[in-house]
Amino acid sequence: MGNRVLLIVSGGIAAVKCPDLIRRLAARGIATRCIVTRGGAEFVTPLSLAALSGDKVYTDLFSLTDEAAMGHIELSRSADLVLVAPATADILAKMTHGIAGDLATTALLATDKPVMVAPAMNVRMWEHAATQSNIRALKARGIHVIGPAEGDMACGETGMGRMSEPADIADTVENYFQNSGRLLGRRALVTSGPTFEPIDPVRYIANRSSGKQGHAIAEALARFGATTTLVSGPTRQPDPAGVHVIHVETAAAMLAACESALPADIAVCAAAVSDWRAADIAPGKLKKNDAAATTLTLVENPDILATLAGAGNRRPGLVIGFAAETDNVLSYGSAKRDAKGCDWIVANDVSAATGTFGGDDNTVHLISADGTDSWPKMSKMAVAERLAMRIADHLGAPERTLQ
């Protein structure tokens, strides 16, 4: 039997794209059953959703006829995946707080299946602290957020908040069905974020790494089924769902945590580890007139990637590093691969104009012994997904399970 999606259509103008979304899912062999909220039904008729999905459309929690056809608990579990598209600010807030006042929100609270949401709302509503905090909470719970995209909105404003295109949503759903479980039985180790190297009890050396790319990679590997440990420096990213996260501050602590996570089949070093640390950490806060404060003596930090790549019989089978460069990205990336002894380098351009540092998008080149593969600009989440696919392709079926 093919894969089935329970599509929850909430009340936004993007609901008019749901017929197209259903068609595109069907073209990928994915069947859809719909729940439409009262607001959703103002934008797209249940009749058109029923005609395209070839199934009854459910609208009302307290309908005797609906409950007779299928109880709301059964309905919430009748598919392999629940997709909320469009997901309004309202339904996201209700999901965050477990409010279940209608059929759609009751199904979302009752389901035991993975949930994806495709937000769609005005840019200010999207950027509002309440929505952003809800999104963080939902992500931390393992809900996969698709988009939103940037562009013109029905309200006349422009910005972030358009629902992702139906083709992109359908691709994400299809990828999920194709990839979940491909890394079952594998163990993955990912580093992410910056390190903080103390100078005295209140000051430290750090960098601008946001941790977005590393966290997205850990999340993707876990979604593919790998038992994943994320060793993260201080970031504002929520802990990805289904991932064992070890929080550290210094490079030395990051290395120790990585070594404690071995053995692993896969290591992805995406952290921006400080190259140096203070030779001596002042026990008390340095004073402005303290002669020692004007000269900082630095010593080199351990190279975590090189250490893992050279770990002898404890070396992970596939070791992947990042090369963040501002120029000569390919040649420096390839030199880094040799210097560090890793298998693949993901080289990316972080010059200021690209907005990669802290931004949501990345343009990367995957450098391996087989050559260089340049990927188009895409979201950091899409880079993570594609990298996880390449890792799964490379490793093939699990031969053994590490203890």
Handedness of CA 295, 323, 208, 223 (dihedral sign): negative
- 18 catalytic? Reply is no
Helices 212-223 + 380-395 axis angle, to 10: 40
Tokens of 93: 């807030």
CB of 347 to ligand C5P, least distance (A): 9
Q: Is 384 helix (H, G, I), strand (E, B) or coil?
A: helix
The binding track of 175-204 with respect to ligand C5P, each residue x by CB under 6 A or -, is: ----------------x-------------
Q: Judged by CB, which is closer to ligand C5P: 84, or 324?
A: 324
Q: From 38-46, 55-63, 109-117, 298-306, give the range in contact with ligand C5P by CB under 6 A.
A: 298-306
Tokens of 307: 């250490």
CB of 340 to ligand C5P, least distance (A): 6
- Kindly identify the residues of this chain, within the stretch 328-367, that bind ligand C5P according to CB under 6 A: 336, 340
Instruction: Count interface residues toward ligand C5P (CB under 6 A).
Output: 15
The reply to whether 303 sits near ligand C5P by the rule CB under 6 A is: yes
- Kindly identify the residues of this chain, within the stretch 216-255, that bind ligand C5P according to CB under 6 A: 251
Q: From 36-44, 198-206, 264-272, 392-400, give the range in contact with ligand C5P by CB under 6 A.
A: 264-272
The reply to whether 58 sits near ligand C5P by the rule CB under 6 A is: no
Q: Which residues contact 331 (CB under 8 A, 6 or more apart)?
A: none
- Rounded to a whole number, what is the largest CA-CA distance in the chain? 82
Out of 217, 305, 318, 395, the only residue in the binding site for ligand C5P (CB under 6 A) is 305
The reply to whether 273 sits near ligand C5P by the rule CB under 6 A is: yes
Out of 95, 160, 269, 309, the only residue in the binding site for ligand C5P (CB under 6 A) is 269
Q: Judged by CB, which is closer to ligand C5P: 108, or 346?
A: 346
Q: CA of 294: how far to CAs of 85, 186, 282, in Å? A: 56, 49, 13
Q: Which residues contact 65 (CB under 8 A, 6 or more apart)?
A: none
Q: Judged by CB, which is closer to ligand C5P: 22, or 271?
A: 271
CB of 212 to ligand C5P, least distance (A): 14
Q: Judged by CB, which is closer to ligand C5P: 105, or 301?
A: 301
Q: Which residues contact 127 (CB under 8 A, 6 or more apart)?
A: 159, 160
Q: Catalytic residue, from 34, 155, 269, 342: name it.
A: 155
Nearest to 246 by CA among 264, 258, 263, 262: 258
Residue type present at position 275: D
Strands (DSSP E) along 186-317, which ranges?
Answer: 187-192, 197-198, 204-205, 227-232, 244-247, 266-269, 276-278, 298-300
Binding site for ligand C5P (CB under 6 A): 191, 251, 269-271, 273, 301, 303-305, 321-323, 336, 340
Positions annotated as catalytic residues are 155
